[in-house]
């Protein structure tokens, strides 16, 4: 966020003369300069009691109101001053700045021109005129005004910094940075120039440098909300979310009416997956500035993350009607369109986003997921050029680019290069997360220990008889999305996607003393009433998603941790377990930068160990549950013999066969998974055996998979 600096003149410009004023007015100005605004205001009002048309007293009251942030009142005082004495350039100059601050740029331009008609060499009026043009996005006009101001006063650092802002708006980053640096050289204590320089450095991906520059600005102006906000954005780029949140809290305490601060807070809360707080921050921003594009864009992201895809899409379209060149809104719109299956439109949105901002690394990941690359694709060149600036990119940005290039070179069948990028991307991502492998693998063992066959049989039939949910589970990238899409294509089924609700419900289980109980240790103590209570809370959550559907799918892959408990809580709910070749499953995980937490997938050895524990757990469920309770679907069999396998799935769910299930890729419903693009295609076989092209690089995975590894690793 760059800060354009207009100013309220405190003295007359060179060449003008002060009108005679009473001694009280001189004292009022002295009190104002000393910071005693209340005393200054009192003196001005006393003057006006004696001389109601004292224009300079009105003018000074306008300045005082401006200083306390009461812009509407300041504007009214300044209008009165001009109405009484229209021959003072200073009055018109300050009136124009107040028009601008009150969101009236056209009137600001008129007032600035009147000041210049009275004094053509009035540098500050030219500066303020430039800012008014900037606010109307007339950047070339703004540049002319700033340059004219600098011709009059070469040392006018505010105008030079504002000139940099206009260059930045036109993406002339080198010229912008040069302006800020010259302003700093002229005035090493000019915090606003540091602040604006930091923003330009963020624009070109030099986040490390930007953070350092923002900290210099903050040292000079420690209570400036603009600097606090910008520093928060820089640390957010490095995913230091708590630090970003603290900086924004400081900013809000200083200026609770700054709508931009609430928008930035919403983005931090989004990254923290605190959606209700994110929405509250959006609403606070929009209460202050109802149609601010940035705040609306953040609100659209919250709506999207809540699963309301069509509503989110309409929000992004409104954003773009207000600000057509917002790259992030185009990217967000692409994500919504992709979920809705409008893949061509999604690609166009991603491409438009990159045309506006070709340095936005995250968009390349989305674009790569939505298309097949061909030789000489300009986006590959764009990504490679960005990576050459590696030291100036955040780890997150480099991660994005490596994953996207891994996909691109895989499409080009340049598998050596492809795997190199995947390896780099995964290594970078692994450094950014805290994965407790011992704790996760221990959970598998704890589940088996606490839910043996005897424990399950002793509680059989005590749960809720509802068959509303259809669970589809398995390892990520195993084919669960395809199976859910087949089932959700049935007219009696609502496809809800990857729901976190079952896990969320069991996290609320409490003991007799009211204390929360951990899963799976609480399972042996469950009674029939507890089982039904868990079921009823889960069903209530499903009904909030769809009030009328006869059946609702829950395709959270990691629900395999809860298979035994699902059986007890909802004994009539179908549980479909999807399996795929172990190495194909793992390499498919390794090739994806997941939007959710899949922390076990970014290291081949960790991924292999996780997979073996998953297989052990699923084998445990087969022996602990009644025969046939879980339907196992082998992905390769489904691909090879589609209709019989699809009929088998539908029959197991207790549904009559419907022809729509054969044309699943035409089903119009949002799909939010890493497979959202693939599931829009008819059945294809190219994903079978895909690991073989990377075989020579997969030794750590094969070692970890042990008996589940292939006997040969050749291509």
Q: What is the mean pLDDT of residues 686-715?
A: 83
Question: Is residue 401 in a domain?
Answer: no
Prediction pTM value: 0.79
What is the predicted pLDDT for the residue at 156?
A: 96
Looking at residue 649, which CATH number applies to its domain? 3.40.50.300
Say how many Å lie between the first and final Cα of the chain, rounded.
51
Q: pLDDT per residue over 394-439, tens digit each?
A: 888 899 999 999 999 999 999 999 999 999 999 999 998 889 999 9
Q: pLDDT per residue over 247-260, tens digit each?
A: 999 999 999 999 99
Looking at residue 147, which CATH number applies to its domain? 1.25.40.10
Question: Is residue 399 in a domain?
Answer: no
pLDDT band at 237 (very low <50, low <70, confident <90, very high): confident
3-state secondary structure 338-361: HHCCCHHHHHHHHHHHHHHCCCCH
Determine the Cα–Cα distance for residues 573 and 568; give it in Å rounded to an integer.
10
Number of structural domains in the chain: 2
What is the predicted pLDDT for the residue at 8?
A: 54
Q: Which two tokens stand for residue 240?
A: 């230091």
pLDDT band at 672 (very low <50, low <70, confident <90, very high): very low
Residue 38 host element (H or E): helix 37-50
Question: Is residue 314 in a domain?
Answer: no
Question: Is residue 431 in a domain?
Answer: no
Q: pLDDT per residue over 184-210, tens digit each?
A: 999 999 999 999 999 999 888 788 899
pLDDT above 50: residue 113: yes
What is the predicted pLDDT for the residue at 390?
A: 62
Say how far residue 469 (Cα) sits from the centre of its chain.
31
pLDDT band at 7 (very low <50, low <70, confident <90, very high): low
Question: Is residue 308 in a domain?
Answer: no
Q: Which two tokens stand for residue 65?
A: 């109101």
Question: Is residue 378 in a domain?
Answer: no
Question: Is residue 503 in a domain?
Answer: yes
Residues in contact with 407: Cβ distance below 8 Å, sequence separation at least 6, in sequence order: 368, 369, 373, 418, 591
492: left (phi over 0), alpha (psi -120 to 50) or beta: alpha
Range of the domain at 71: 23-236
Say how far residue 405 (Cα) sits from the centre of its chain.
22
Q: Which of 236, 271, 301 is a domain's end point? A: 236
Q: Which of 189, 220, 236 is a domain's end point? A: 236
Q: pLDDT per residue over 514-571, tens digit each?
A: 888 899 999 999 999 999 999 999 999 999 999 999 999 999 999 999 999 999 999 9
pLDDT above 80: residue 22: no
pLDDT band at 26 (very low <50, low <70, confident <90, very high): confident
The beta-strand segments (E) located in 278-366 are none
Question: Is residue 52 in a domain?
Answer: yes
pLDDT band at 11 (very low <50, low <70, confident <90, very high): very low
Phi, psi of 472 (to 5 degrees): -125, 120
What is the predicted pLDDT for the residue at 344?
A: 92
Q: Which of 236, 253, 286 is a domain's end point? A: 236
pLDDT above 70: residue 714: no
pLDDT band at 685 (very low <50, low <70, confident <90, very high): low
What is the predicted pLDDT for the residue at 675?
A: 47
What is the predicted pLDDT for the residue at 307?
A: 84
pLDDT band at 698 (very low <50, low <70, confident <90, very high): very high
């Amino acid at each position: 966020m760059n800060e354009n600096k207009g100013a309220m003149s405190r003295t007359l410009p060179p060449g003008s003369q002060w009108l005679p004023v009473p001694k009280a007015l001189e004292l009022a100005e002295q009190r104002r300069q000393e910071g005693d605004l209340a005393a200054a205001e009192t003196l001005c009002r006393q003057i006006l009691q004696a001389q109601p048309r004292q224009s300079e007293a009105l003018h000074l009251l306008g300045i005082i109101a401006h200083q306390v942030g009461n812009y509407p009142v300041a504007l009214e005082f300044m209008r009165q001053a001009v109405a009484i004495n229209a021959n003072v350039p200073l009055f018109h100059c300050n009136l124009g700045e107040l028009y601008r601050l009150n969101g009236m740029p056209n009137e600001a331009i008129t007032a600035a021109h009147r000041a210049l008609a009275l004094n053509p060499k009035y540098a500050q009026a030219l500066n303020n005129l430039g800012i008014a043009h900037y606010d109307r996005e007339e950047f070339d006009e703004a540049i002319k005004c700033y340059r004219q101001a600098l011709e009059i006063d070469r040392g006018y650092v505010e105008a030079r910094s504002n000139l940099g802002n206009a260059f930045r708006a036109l993406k002339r980053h080198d010229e912008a940075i040069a302006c800020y640096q010259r302003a700093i050289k002229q005035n090493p204590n000019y915090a606003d120039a540091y602040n604006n320089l930091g923003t330009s450095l963020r624009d070109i991906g030099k986040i490390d440098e930007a953070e350092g520059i923002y900290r210099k600005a903050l040292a000079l102006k420690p209570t400036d909300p603009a600097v606090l906000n910008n520093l928060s954005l820089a640390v957010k780029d490095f995913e230091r979310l708590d630090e970003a949140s603290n900086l924004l809290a400081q900013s809000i305490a200083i200026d609770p009416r700054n709508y931009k601060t609430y928008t930035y807070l919403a983005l931090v809360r989004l990254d923290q997956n605190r959606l209700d707080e994110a929405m509250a921050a959006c609403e606070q921003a929009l209460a202050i500035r109802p149609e601010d594009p940035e705040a609306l864009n953040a609100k659209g992201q919250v709506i999207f993350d809540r699963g309301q895809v069509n509503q989110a899409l309409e929000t992004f379209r409104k954003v773009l009607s207000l600000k057509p060149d917002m790259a992030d809104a185009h990217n967000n719109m692409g994500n919504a369109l992709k979920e809705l299956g409008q893949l061509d439109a999604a690609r166009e949105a991603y491409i438009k986003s990159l045309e506006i901002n070709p340095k936005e690394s995250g968009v390349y990941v989305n674009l790569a997921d939505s298309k097949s690359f061909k030789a000489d694709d300009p986006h590959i060149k764009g990504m490679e050029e960005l990576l050459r600036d590696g030291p100036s990119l955040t780890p997150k940005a480099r991660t994005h680019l490596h994953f996207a290039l891994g996909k691109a070179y895989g499409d080009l069948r340049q598998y050596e290069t492809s795997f190199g990028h995947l390896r780099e991307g995964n290594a970078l991502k692994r450094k950014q997360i805290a994965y407790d492998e011992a704790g996760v693998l221990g959970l598998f063992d704890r589940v088996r220990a606490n839910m043996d066959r005897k424990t399950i049989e002793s509680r059989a039939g005590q749960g809720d008889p509802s068959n509303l949910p259809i669970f589809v589970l398995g390892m990520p990238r195993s084919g669960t999305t395809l199976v859910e899409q087949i089932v959700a294509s049935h007219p009696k089924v609502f496809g809800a996607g990857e729901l976190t609700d079952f896990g969320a419900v069991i996290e609320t289980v409490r003991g007799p003393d009211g204390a929360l109980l951990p899963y799976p240790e609480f399972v042996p103590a469950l009674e029939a009433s507890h089982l039904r209570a868990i079921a009823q809370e889960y069903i209530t959550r499903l009904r909030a998603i769809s009030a009328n559907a006869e059946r609702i799918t829950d395709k959270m892959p990691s629900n395999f941790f809860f298979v035994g408990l699902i059986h007890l809580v909802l004994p009539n709910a179908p549980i479909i377990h999807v399996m795929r070749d172990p190495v194909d499953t793992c390499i498919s995980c390794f090739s994806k930068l997941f939007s959710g937490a899949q922390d076990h997938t970014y290291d081949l050895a960790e991924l292999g160990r996780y997979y073996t524990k998953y297989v052990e757990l699923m084998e445990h469920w087969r022996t602990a549950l009644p025969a046939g309770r879980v339907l196992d679907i082998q992905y390769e069999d489904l691909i090879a013999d589609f209709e019989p396998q699809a009929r088998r799935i539908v029959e197991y769910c207790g549904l009559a066969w419907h022809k729509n299930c054969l044309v699943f890729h035409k089903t119009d419903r949002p799909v939010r998974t890493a497979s959202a693009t693939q599931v829009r295609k008819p059945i294809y076989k190219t994903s079978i055996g895909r690991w073989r092209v990377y075989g020579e690089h997969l030794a750590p995975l094969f070692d970890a998979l042990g008996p589940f590894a292939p006997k040969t690793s050749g291509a």
